[in-house]
């Protein structure tokens, strides 16, 4: 409920800020025409961020800017919140208490869905109010309301998807993986539908395609909203129906074959940390590989436009030359985001181990606190480095597929460039874990969100360098558009090490606590 409020406030504010930022950055119609021509004629950018319409207007640019990124954030929130509400409680055993009362599993799922509906309502109200408030000067009211409605499509549908996945998967983790696969497919369908002539109909199969078709600020259309509404209700109903057909603590898909014991890694706290990170880590690397290939594939078409103009997309790409490297340098921001989110997730997982009492079990063995935290941080850092390499190699593979092969070394360097920034997030997480453990997850994810917004919107408002520098995203050079900066990387990694060291010192001095 609280996360819905925060997301709604932030998402609504982005609507107004994007509009105001556009007015500030391109006051003059001639500039706006250049923006419109370069982005508008560019299938690559359209594929990544959605169909651009009337970019020479504040409304058109805002629509494209806002609907390119925020629905993805909303969708991820919906998967996390939905599986947590419908499976997290159950995995923790709290469901049994409810089911022991005079309530069926279907009714309990129904109540869970009702709670999620309430979260969605909070999200809707917060988004609408903030969007109207911040966008009042630059946008008309009707368009703003349409935009708020469009922003709700992805969270609503994905919450319902999460409800179905929660019945299919055997655990919350599996439900989340299924949901992530659905979201990935939805994104790829939307990309294909936007990028390939004759396949536009593919977009109708994807909730993200519906968002694209609402066109709230340019040519508002209610049909996709209606489709989304019907899909949400139908999927939620399906979820409740399936809930009556499975056992508590089990899933419809999983759990038939007996698990195989694999003890190879399980000989110490480092090995345990690696084993615990393995499943989700592999899924994340696959996702990163898909993103990398798509970025590499669309780079040639997208970069032509950038080469022609010193265009400020709100991505920090201006003034770094042109061509495929410039484009990749700019959009590797997305890779940075995925790496930092993973870092925040690793910090949150460490706190989760403490909160669930498993850390007690481990520390009652001859394992020191530093060894435990060190193992977790080492595994996290290794995963982040692997993510950087995978993203770079995948982007290279994408450019090969797209017939614009770039040097492999440069793209791997580009993939590794954001790793120190992600390490800072990991270090920050370790610091909060040591000092104020209850706030670990919120601080790590909250910092990533705040830093990302600062980076993509701060530039439009001409904020001073000292403020922009607070964002780790700002410390990531736009490789391959510019040369790697080993000094920056070392300095950033040193900051990360300092944060982690301070966190470790605090950890050994405090009580280990479940609350």
Partner 1 sequence: MRTPAAGAPAIRTEGLTKRYGTVVGLDALDLQVQRGEVFGYLGPNGAGKTTTIRLLLGLLRPTAGRVEVLGVDAVADPRRAHRRLAYVAGDVALWPGLTGEETLHLLGRVHGSLDRAYRDELVERFELDPSRRVRAYSKGNRQKLALIGALMTRADLLVLDEPTAGLDPLMEQVFRACVREAAERGQTVFLSSHVLSEVEALCGRVAILRAGRLVSSGTLAEMRWDGALAVEASFDAGQAVPDVSAVPGVLDPVVDGAVLRCRVSGSVAPLLAALAAAGAVRVASREPTLEELFLAHYDQP
The residues, any chain, with a CB within 8 Å of residue 62's CB and separated by 6 or more, are: 15, 18, 19, 22, 135, 138, 139, 147, 217
User: Is 365 a binder of partner 1 (CB under 8 A)?
Assistant: yes
User: Is 98 a binder of partner 1 (CB under 8 A)?
Assistant: no
User: Is 506 a binder of partner 1 (CB under 8 A)?
Assistant: no
Output the smallest distance, CB 468 to partner 1, in A.
Answer: 41
For residues 276 and 307, which CB has a smaller minimum distance to partner 1 in the complex? 276
For residues 104 and 361, which CB has a smaller minimum distance to partner 1 in the complex? 361
User: Is 505 a binder of partner 1 (CB under 8 A)?
Assistant: no
Give 352-390 as a DSSP string: HHHHTTHHHHHHTSS--HHHHHHHHHHHHHHHHHHHHHH
Output the smallest distance, CB 110 to partner 1, in A.
Answer: 24
CB 332 within 8 A of CB 478: yes
**Stretch of residues binding partner 1 (CB under 8 A), selected from 139-147, 271-279, 298-306, 445-453:** 271-279
Closest by CA to 272, choosing from 284, 262, 259, is: 262
**Stretch of residues binding partner 1 (CB under 8 A), selected from 24-32, 73-81, 252-260, 373-381:** 252-260
Q: Find where tokens 């990163």 sit.
A: 288
For residues 147 and 504, which CB has a smaller minimum distance to partner 1 in the complex? 504
Output the smallest distance, CB 358 to partner 1, in A.
Answer: 5
For residues 102 and 267, which CB has a smaller minimum distance to partner 1 in the complex? 267
User: Is 462 a binder of partner 1 (CB under 8 A)?
Assistant: no
What is the rounded distance in angstroms from the CA atom of residue 489 to the CA atom of residue 355? Answer: 33
**Stretch of residues binding partner 1 (CB under 8 A), selected from 103-111, 132-140, 275-283, 388-396:** 275-283
CB 326 within 8 A of CB 308: no
What is the rounded distance in angstroms from the CA atom of residue 74 to the CA atom of residue 149? Answer: 13
**Stretch of residues binding partner 1 (CB under 8 A), selected from 177-185, 238-246, 260-268, 381-389:** 260-268
Size of the site for partner 1 (CB under 8 A): 34
User: Is 360 a binder of partner 1 (CB under 8 A)?
Assistant: yes
What is the rounded distance in angstroms from the CA atom of residue 489 to the CA atom of residue 128? Answer: 41
For residues 68 and 281, which CB has a smaller minimum distance to partner 1 in the complex? 281
User: Is 276 a binder of partner 1 (CB under 8 A)?
Assistant: yes
Output the smallest distance, CB 430 to partner 1, in A.
Answer: 19
Which residues in the 52-71 window bind partner 1 by CB under 8 A?
none
What is the rounded distance in angstroms from the CA atom of residue 53 to the CA atom of residue 40? Answer: 7
In the set 29, 222, 244, 279, which binds partner 1 (CB under 8 A)?
Answer: 279
**Stretch of residues binding partner 1 (CB under 8 A), selected from 62-70, 99-107, 238-246, 269-277:** 269-277
What is the rounded distance in angstroms from the CA atom of residue 68 to the CA atom of residue 63? Answer: 8
Distances from the Cα of 380 to the Cα of 274, 375, 424, 514, angstroms: 9, 9, 12, 22
What is the rounded distance in angstroms from the CA atom of residue 85 to the CA atom of residue 115? Answer: 8
What is the rounded distance in angstroms from the CA atom of residue 228 to the CA atom of residue 224? Answer: 6
Binding site for partner 1 (CB under 8 A): 91, 171, 173, 249, 255, 258-259, 261-263, 266-269, 272, 275-276, 279, 356-358, 360-368, 509-512
């Amino acid at each position: 409920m609280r996360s819905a409020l925060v997301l709604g406030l932030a998402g609504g504010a982005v609507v107004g800020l994007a509009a105001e930022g556009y007015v500030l950055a391109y006051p003059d119609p001639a500039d706006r025409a250049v923006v419109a021509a370069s982005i508008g004629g560019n299938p690559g950018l359209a594929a990544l961020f959605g169909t651009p319409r009337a970019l020479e207007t504040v409304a058109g640019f805002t629509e494209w800017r806002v609907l390119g990124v925020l629905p993805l954030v909303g969708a991820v929130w919906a998967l996390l919140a939905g599986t947590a509400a419908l499976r997290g409680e159950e995995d923790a055993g709290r469901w049994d208490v409810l089911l022991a009362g005079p309530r069926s599993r279907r009714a309990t799922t129904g109540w869970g869905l009702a709670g999620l509906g309430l979260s969605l309502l909070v999200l809707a109200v917060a988004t609408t109010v903030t969007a109207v408030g911040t966008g009042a000067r630059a946008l008309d009211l009707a368009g703003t309301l349409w935009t708020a409605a469009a922003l709700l499509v992805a969270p609503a549908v994905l919450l319902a998807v999460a409800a179905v996945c929660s019945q299919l998967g055997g655990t919350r983790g599996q439900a989340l993986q299924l949901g992530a696969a659905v979201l990935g497919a939805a994104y790829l369908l939307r990309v294909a539908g936007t990028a390939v002539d004759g396949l536009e109909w593919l977009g109708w199969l994807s909730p993200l395609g519906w968002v694209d078709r609402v066109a709230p600020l340019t040519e508002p259309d209610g049909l996709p909203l209606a489709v989304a509404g019907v899909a949400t209700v139908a999927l939620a109903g399906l979820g409740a129906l399936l809930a009556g057909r499975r056992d508590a603590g089990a899933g419809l898909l999983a759990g038939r074959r007996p698990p195989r014991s694999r003890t190879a890694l399980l000989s110490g706290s480092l090995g345990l940390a690696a084993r615990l990170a393995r499943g989700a880590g592999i899924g994340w690397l696959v996702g990163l590989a898909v993103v990398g290939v798509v970025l590499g594939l669309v780079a040639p078409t997208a970069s032509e436009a950038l080469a022609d103009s010193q265009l400020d997309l709100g991505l920090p790409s201006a003034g770094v030359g042109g061509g495929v490297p410039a484009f990749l340098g700019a959009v590797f921001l997305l890779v940075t985001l995925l790496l930092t989110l993973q870092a925040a997730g690793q910090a949150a997982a460490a706190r989760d181990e403490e909160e669930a009492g498993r850390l007690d079990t481990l520390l009652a063995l001859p394992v020191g606190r530093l060894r435990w935290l060190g193992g977790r941080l080492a595994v996290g850092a290794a995963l982040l480095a692997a993510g950087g390499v995978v993203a770079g190699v995948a982007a290279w593979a994408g450019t090969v597929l797209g017939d614009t092969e770039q040097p492999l070394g440069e793209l791997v360097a580009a993939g590794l460039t954001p790793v120190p920034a992600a390490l800072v997030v990991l270090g920050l997480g370790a610091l909060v874990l040591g000092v104020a453990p209850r706030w670990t997850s919120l601080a790590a994810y909250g910092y990533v969100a705040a830093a990302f917004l600062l980076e993509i919107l701060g530039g439009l408002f001409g904020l001073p360098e000292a403020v922009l520098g607070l964002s780790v995203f700002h410390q990531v050079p736009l490789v391959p558009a510019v040369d790697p900066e080993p000094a920056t990387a070392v300095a950033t990694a040193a900051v990360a090490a300092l944060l982690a060291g301070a966190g470790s010192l605090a950890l050994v001095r405090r009580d280990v606590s479940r609350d």
